[in-house]
Structure 1
Amino acid sequence: MRAFPVDLPSGHRYWTVIDDDLHVVPVADQWLRFLRFGRSRAELTTKSHAGGAAFYFRWCLATGRDWTTAARDLGLFMVWLKYTPSRPVNGSTTVVFGPGTKPVRGERRVNVILTAVRGLLSYAVSVGEAPRSVLGQLYELGDSRDLPAEAQGEDSGLSLRLKARHRLQEPEADVDRATDEEMVGMLHGCHSARDRLIVLLDGRVGLRRGQITGLHRSDCHLLPDSRALGCDYEGAHVHVKRRDNANRAWSKSKKEWIQPLDFLVVQAFDQYFDERHEILGAGGSDFLLVNLFREPLGAPMPPDALNELFDRLSRRAKLSRRVTPHMGRRAFGSNVADAGGSPDEVQALLGQDSPESVRPYLIPDRARLREAVERVPSPRGLHRREGR
């Protein structure tokens, strides 16, 4: 069992599950198609869920269980996931584990797979492929008292919800942002105007990888007055849209929004357009960012290319760590807050759906924290006593 990409004649792609004989698993395929096209989920979401479902089917086959009723043994599945490698060890298909055995998957990875399994089985129940009793094996009734205060809503009354029965406690993840010095260092390490524009769209505009590589030239309005383009928004800006793109770029935000640009970013646009025209002339696709230095010239850059670029720039700038595109996005959100931006302004500029989702992006600059401490006045009379 494994996940497998499916390219449709329309140009859309989703991921499904196939068995060892290369036959599609019908219920998994129906569920994944429903996610991709019925729920408008990203291709990468179906890839992740297809991989999780493949693990579940593989475990059922290896242990002789019926996948429609094996949810009662998900605790054993979790142990199997934690210690069973994807490939045989030293040619053996037998896996022996016990005290002191090193896990092959962490808590976060196991939880991602369990999320996929719950989605698969819930869908199977809804279409009559699995008994309704499976839902009771996946979920229990929980109430709002165990939720954080900000997630309980304005209604103070007790509310019930379905709570997953099987979930591992994940370690607290470190959340970090790129420093201004790191972003400037990477800008100096850029060898082209295109790469400088990418760094600025990340660290000074705050767009995600899929949003940057999903921009079309028609989305970019750089004139002070865009009414000639049929747009009433004043000032330079880009329209961030969710759409199916040929390069697999995908905006995580469901809504479309307008992102303002400052003069530094507009200047970077101008320099890039000159560079692009010198290399491609009027050719190339309608995508904003295209291949200029590798074949096929003019083809849109895929999102993964930004990871490779940031790796190279981190090395060229001789940074002490690898800076990722998402660290640049966090730096943007934090810099807006450091400059006095209100939470609703940060939320709108990051394209987030709720105020709670903005919190991971608000990481104060260390210098601002130092200034905050120094602004705290000393207790009255403390200096006088210390001088005695």
Structure 2
Amino acid sequence: MERIYVGERAVSLATGIARWVVVDSRTYGLQTEAVAYLASLRARGCSPNTERAYSGRVALYLNYCLMQRLDWRTPGFLGLAGLQQWLIETPLPSRTSEVRPASARHRSRGTANAMMTVVAEFLRFGGAHGWVPATTTALLSEPKLLRFTPPGFDAGESGRRREVQTASFRFKITEPGYEDLSDEQIRRTIALTTRARDRFLLALLACTGLRIGEVLGLRRGDMHLLASSRAVGCGIDGPHVHVRRRTDNPNRALAKSRFARYVPVTADLVALYTDYQYERDRVSQAAEAEMVFVNLFRPPLGRAMSYPNTREMFERLARAVGHACQPHMLRHSAATRWLRDGVDRDVVQRLLGHASPLSMEHYCHVNDVETRAAVERVDSLKGRS
């Protein structure tokens, strides 16, 4: 499909602020409604990464409508249903320029659902501003009766609250499993890491359960690693790390949680940070850098590590250790370890920075040893009766 509309990063000449927009590549003009929608994301405090992803998804929708000769404001039921199928059936562009073509890649149903969610949100935004008719927005959801409700759910008189609105254009999929790493896998991965910076980064993720965006957004002033931080105006005892949401990080890293928190750290982690400081001090360009994690081994030296830098590092480590290794797996590992050790769920929720206790459900991983132990315990109880 020819890309007429594209999501682009635009920098204001007046303020230097970077924003994401949707541009018509034929005229280099802005697609007004799409730009307004992306601006609404910024107003809601969404991260620049969300803005970037949504700009591409809105552009894809506009291009699909052009290809199918549809008015994007009134695509109709068949147009939206066709888009849903087109997303999973159309091969993605090849990532390589090899002579031998790679096997065709397709979007997963989960990815298609995420894209349809953005399309629906964009159309609802247009409906709220009078650009999209009510006949279009009415197609985006349909009533559904909840057969099962979560604990504490108030169904209301005669169960009237059991009827909810659900997305009309959404594939039914099985939720993917969330992987975690064993303590031995984590120790081995850290041991195979040759750089002090990377060892500290891995250990910090494993010890604190921080998100990668939170780690990359840390500044030196957030690292309170002395027994007492009263000298810098902090009354929290013991070594700890402050996690703060900032929108002006040079690497565009963003803490997902809007609420600041602190996470205690261990003496071993403090020692790894000290090793990293020795390594960092040997790079003069990093001396004045405010961010904790910076480039030390290739230019531009001293610049804050970015998401692509970190992804490349984890891909390299995964090849070295022979198993999957991703930042979020270390977060799940930390949460799973705390829960297995009997840490109260409210404490784990606070450490992870979750606003809702329902977010904790994905973090309780059960292994084969635990399931067998549970069954054997029930069997042993039979002998007591």
TM over 0.5: yes
Q: Which residue of 2 aligns with 1:95?
A: none
Which of 151, 158, 170 aligns to 2:173? It is: 170
Counterpart secondary structure, 2:7: strand
Q: 2:54 pairs with 45, 49, 64, which one?
A: 49
Moved more, 220-229 or 4-13: 4-13
Structure-2 change in CA distance of 1:209 and 1:345 (3 Å): same
Residues 11 and 246 in structure 1, CA contact (< 8 A), matched pair in contact too: no
Could you tell me how far apart the structure 1 residues matched to 2:51 and 2:62 are? 16
- Alpha-carbon separation, structure 2, partners of 1:280 and 1:304: 23
Q: 1:6-59 deviations in whole A, cap 9, x for unaligned?
A: 2345554332222231322110011001102x1010111112222221121112
In the alignment, does 2:157 pair up with 1:155? no
Change (3 A) 1:103 1:269: closer
- 1:233 deviates by 1.3
CA distance in 2, matches of 1:377, 1:266: 46
Distance 1:381 1:274, change over 3 A: closer
- Closer, same or farther in 2 for the Cα pair 1:277/1:371, shift >3 Å? farther
Whole-angstrom CA distance in 1 between matches of 2:338 and 2:128? 45
Change (3 A) 1:252 1:237: same
Aligned to 1:181: 184
**Alpha-carbon distance in structure 1 between the residues aligned to 2:310 and 2:147:** 39
Deviation, 1:281, is 7.9
**CA-CA distance at 1:372 after TM superposition:** 4.2
Q: Verify: 1:304 aligned to 2:301, yes or no.
A: no
- The TM-score normalised by the length of structure 2 is 0.87
- Hey, what's the Cα distance between the residues in 2 that align with 1:12 and 1:211? 22
How many equivalent residue pairs? 363
Question: 2:361 and 2:226 mapped to 1: Cα distance?
Answer: 33
2:286–2:303: 8 Å Cα contact kept in structure 1?
no
Alignment correspondent of 1:105: 107
* Secondary structure, aligned partner of 2:88: helix
Identity of aligned residues (%): 32
Which runs of structure 2 are paired with 1:12-23 in the superposition (5 Å)? 12-21=17-26, 22-23=28-29
Cα distance in structure 2, aligned partners of 1:365 and 1:215: 33
**Cα distance in 1 between the residues matched to 2:105 and 2:133:** 33
Q: 1:266 to 1:291 in 2, by over 3 A?
A: same
How do 1:78-227 residues align onto structure 2 when only pairs under 5 Å count? 78-85=84-91, 104-142=106-144, 145-146=146-147, 148-150=149-151, 153-157=152-156, 158-159=160-161, 160-227=163-230
Gaps in structure 1 of 5+ consecutive residues: 89-101, 383-388
Asked if the contact 1:338/1:368 (under 8 Å) is kept, the reply is no
Tell me which residue corresponds to 1:385: none
Q: Give the match's secondary structure for 1:4.
A: strand
Where in structure 2 are there 5+ consecutive unaligned residues? 95-103
Q: Displacement, 1:185?
A: 0.9
Q: TM-score, normalised by structure 1?
A: 0.87
Distance 1:343 1:24, change over 3 A: same
* 1:86 to partner: Cα distance: 5.1
> CA 1:11/1:211 → structure 2, altered by over 3 Å: closer, same or farther?
farther
The amino acid across from 1:237 in the alignment is H
> Does the C-alpha gap of structure 1 residues 71 and 113 become closer, same or farther in structure 2, counting only changes over 3 Å?
farther
Runs of 4+ in 1 over 6 A off after TM superposition: none
